[in-house]
Amino acid sequence: MLLGDPLKKNVVMDTTLSQKVNISWFYPHICAFQDKIRDKSSFFKFMDNDMEQQKENLLYIHIPFCHTFCGYCGCFKEKFGAFNYDSRKEFCHLLVKEMKMKVASPLLRDTKIHYIAFGGGTPSILENDLYQIIFEGIRRNFDLSELEGVCMEGNISSLVEAEKVEVLAEHGVTRFSFGVQSFDDKLRKNMSVSASKDEIDGLAKRIHAAGVPFAIDLIFNMPGQTREMFQHDLNEAYRINSDYVHTYLFNQYPSTWLDDRIKSAKYDELPTAEKEVDMWNILMDSHDRAGYGNQMIVNFFGKNPAPHKVGMELQLGMNKLHGSNVIGIGPGSFSYIEGYNYKNYRNVGQYMQDVRNDVMPADIGNFTSEEELKHRVMAYFPIFTKIRKADVPNIERFGLILERLIDEGFVSETEELYSLTRTGKVWAGNIAQLFYSESQSRYKLKSYYYSVKHAANPFNTDRMNVVGKGSTPIEEVFS
């Protein structure tokens, strides 16, 4: 929480635990209630221009299908069983068609892709033969001569299916990432996370045998989770020899069925700010002891330094003013291209209809000004945990905040770098908010207000996991 004027040295950060906030993966934010695209032809006019300068590009592909909806997840998804095989096959062909629509524009013609990330939903849920359609489409439409890696997210249940890991590795996947969240059976059941401990162990062995590095996701400060349970989760991650461990703070999204259960006292252990800080310190100490001290970004840890950038780094602009673009494909995907920030429909049917009709399948978007870009770099600095002094976009302005953070012990300084201290990493979300522009701070508050008012999930301003609403399209809110 920011107190004082950020342009003066009397700026201080409120470190009262009740004021602790999580990091945000999106800046500037995009909101269904404030950013509806009224005229697609005008909005997408920017794609008629040539690329101003060569940048690194992330190709992000969103596969929204899930067998079950995990209670903690705010991402867009729809029921796998609602679509038969022929519909899923058509869906894959339409993903390729959207790629073709994008590269037909002068802006993205001959685009070089540096990293490919599959997210969801459950990207690993498709039948093996359908990946052939997607990967052939990628190779046909994009220049992969400088490709550094392909990451496939998934869940355990789908990845243990016959030959799934081997098939995806043959298609070029260089990293798997799957959600364990916790090794405690009761916690997993509370979060609607399927798969048994034996299946987790079996999948780890299978991926190791395929020779592909993998990461697991763990969540801390969950309802029902004790400090001892989290330490056990970390020990199990080391036991299965996970190459990387991604740790996420539990988000209690308002209006969701999980929020309703928490408020109805269904759990003995509730999420608290005190427990969050304790678990973060457990995490840091445990990783150091176990040899997982290589920190790629604030919540990504590995046994060894990553051999190249990961998709999240490109998603966040490489911590530079004009560092990278994100080309999103599929319903629920987001794109960030030359300052234009937009999302595709969070509705599979609407997405498929638009792509069939050669229409860009996006419904919300905004533009990032040059001044806002400077704030974006600094708002993401705490996620990267460090920034080169040469990459600070306005040292006269932001240097005053950095100086104060150094004085307070949240940031350290070398000749070339500003870096978060261990204490700074605990408060990374609050530090990021110090660098928000006034307009973006107001915008984020309005987005949260509208989400609560209309019983939408604030992560995507959609209906994901909202009590009694299922996956109702957000468009109905406007009617």
- pLDDT value for 248: 94
Is residue 475's pLDDT more than 50? no
Q: Is pLDDT above 80 for 8?
A: no
Exposed / middle / buried, residue 357 (Cβ in 10 Å: 0-12, 13-18, 19+): exposed
In a domain, 158, yes or no: yes
- Give the residue from 258, 256, 254 showing the smallest Cα distance to 267: 258
Across 264-290, average pLDDT: 92
CATH number of the domain to which 265 belongs: 3.20.20.70
Answer left, alpha or beta for residue 267, where phi above 0 means left and psi between -120 and 50 means alpha.
beta
* pLDDT at position 11: 56
293 within a domain of the structure (yes/no) = yes
Q: Is residue 186 part of a domain?
A: yes
Task: Tell me whether residue 60 is in a domain.
Answer: yes
Judge whether residue 472 has pLDDT over 60.
Answer: no
Structural domain for 236, as ranges: 40-314
pLDDT reported for residue 389: 96
| pLDDT tens profile 144-183 | 999 999 999 999 999 998 799 999 999 999 999 999 999 9
Residues 211, 97: Cα–Cα separation, whole Å: 32
Is the pLDDT assigned to residue 131 strictly greater than 50? yes
Instruction: Tell whether 94 is covered by a domain.
Output: yes
308 inside domain: yes
Can you tell me the distance from the alpha carbon of 380 to that of 277, in angstroms, rounded to the nearest whole number? 21
In a domain, 112, yes or no: yes
Decide if 286 is inside a domain.
Answer: yes
Cβ neighbours for 244, distance < 8 A, ≥ 6 positions apart:
177, 213, 214, 215, 216, 296, 300, 301, 302, 303, 306
Number of domains forming the structure of the chain: 1
Contact 66, 122 (CB under 8 A): yes
How far is the CA of 234 from the CAs of 54, 74, 123, 167, in angstroms? Answer: 40, 24, 25, 29
Model pLDDT, residue 467: 67
Among 260-274, 323-337, 395-409, the least confident range? 260-274
pLDDT tens, 213-268?
Answer: 999 999 999 999 999 999 999 999 999 999 999 999 998 877 777 888 888 878 88
The model's pTM: 0.93
